[in-house]
Structure 1
Amino acid sequence: MFTFKPAKEKKPESCCSTRKEESCDTEAHNCCTPQPKGKVACPSCGEKAKGVLGKTLEHLLSNEAKAGLSCLDGFYYCKTPTCKVIYFRGEEILTQHDVSVTVGLKEGASPATVCYCFGWTKEKIEKELEETGKTDALADIKARMEDPGCSCEILNPSGGCCLGDVGNAIKEIETR
């Protein structure tokens, strides 16, 4: 049976860039702009990177970094741990210096956050494994995704769900 769910109320403030709109089509530049399709090679490491929504960058870039961009759409996220690039679009490169949170999947990140919505880090998972021999990270995240819900699109630098990254982090820690 189909149950009608009312649309979520929109926040009064815009979650999209309003800077330098002459360079960015105003109607196309909104929270519903689709993320770039396909994967593109990172200009630094050459690994394939996936597109990220403009609203992800709106929430995670420093004000200084945002001020230097004509538009927040069309960027890709490089998840290669050894690569210094976080986001790129053509020749435009954004690094950890441009992001307001520590990108936990990058080599040397501290804390090494793997779940931005619920605060799971590699350090927290490792401590739990040392103390109890197991971790409840995945079960905790899945339960909390239902209530209160997650905000991966704006909190996770990848703009996507963290469950794969958390699972990979657990495997990495368990094999040390």
Structure 2
Amino acid sequence: MFTAFKTEEKNNCCTPQPKGKVECPSCHEKAKGVLGKTLQHLLKDDAKAKLSCFDGFYYCKTATCKVVYFRNNEILTQDDVKVVVGLKEGAEPATVCYCFGWSKEKIKAELEAAGKTTVLEDIKAKMQNPGCSCEILNPSGGCCLGDVSKAIKEIQEIV
């Protein structure tokens, strides 16, 4: 079980987490800024080596877009990320909670077997003990609860 994690800090040579939203250069949907430590933890070594720093990137959550992160003319895709970006179309597993291992597949199996899911209760309880690390484990760099709630609704419609 994940309890604590330390990352090596690369020199902060760029700007901190970008404020506001910026249009993705591929799908043109608005994307939110992500912390440099998120990329530092989730990018593959060869992708990291190509960057001067990890700050100033945005996360594109559009399911059909191939872009995961972008900054100016720099684009990073699933091929550059260590984990499967569960919110992207065709992702398997379609992870929605990276801290505690919840995927759309696991939620669907629970709904089919029990007629309900305990995913939100489970995550909220575990957020208290041992705690979560969304900033470095979730590709979005943020809390998963909104994405989990959305996934539950989508799955309930088809189950």
Q: TM-score range by the shorter chain?
A: over 0.9
SS in 2 for 1:153: helix
Q: Distance in 2 between matches of 1:91 and 1:45?
A: 14
Give the number of aligned pairs.
Answer: 154
SS in 1 for 2:124: helix
Q: Distance in 2 between matches of 1:124 and 1:157?
A: 19
Shift of 1:17: 2.3
SS in 1 for 2:112: helix
SS in 2 for 1:87: strand
Shift of 1:78: 0.1
Q: Distance in 1 between matches of 2:109 and 2:150?
A: 16
What is the correspondence of 1:79-98 to structure 2 with a 5 Å cutoff?
79-98=61-80
Which letter does structure 2 place at the counterpart of 1:139? E
Q: Tell me which residue corresponds to 1:75.
A: 57
TM-score by length of 1: 0.84
Q: Tell me which residue corresponds to 2:130.
A: 148
Q: Tell me which residue corresponds to 2:109.
A: 127
Unaligned runs of 5+ in 1: 1-9, 19-23
SS in 1 for 2:18: coil
Q: Distance in 2 between matches of 1:132 and 1:148?
A: 26
Shift of 1:34: 3.6
Q: Distance in 1 between matches of 2:125 and 2:97?
A: 13
Query: Are residue 62 (structure 1) and residue 40 (structure 2) matched?
Result: no
What is the correspondence of 1:1-176 to structure 2 with a 5 Å cutoff?
11=6, 14=8, 16-17=9-10, 25=13, 34-176=16-158
Identity among equivalent positions (%) equals 73
Q: Distance in 2 between matches of 1:54 and 1:134?
A: 37
SS in 2 for 1:128: helix
Shift of 1:102: 0.1
Shift of 1:96: 0.2
TM-score by length of 2: 0.93
Which letter does structure 1 place at the counterpart of 2:98? Y
Unaligned runs of 5+ in 2: none
RMSD of aligned residue pairs (Cα, Å)? 1.5
Runs of at least 4 residues of structure 1 off by over 3 A? none
Higher RCO (Cα < 8 Å, 6 or more apart) = 2
Q: Distance in 2 between matches of 1:47 and 1:59?
A: 25
Q: Tell me which residue corresponds to 1:7.
A: none
Q: Computing the radius of gyration over CA atoms, which structure comes out larger, 1 or 2? A: 1
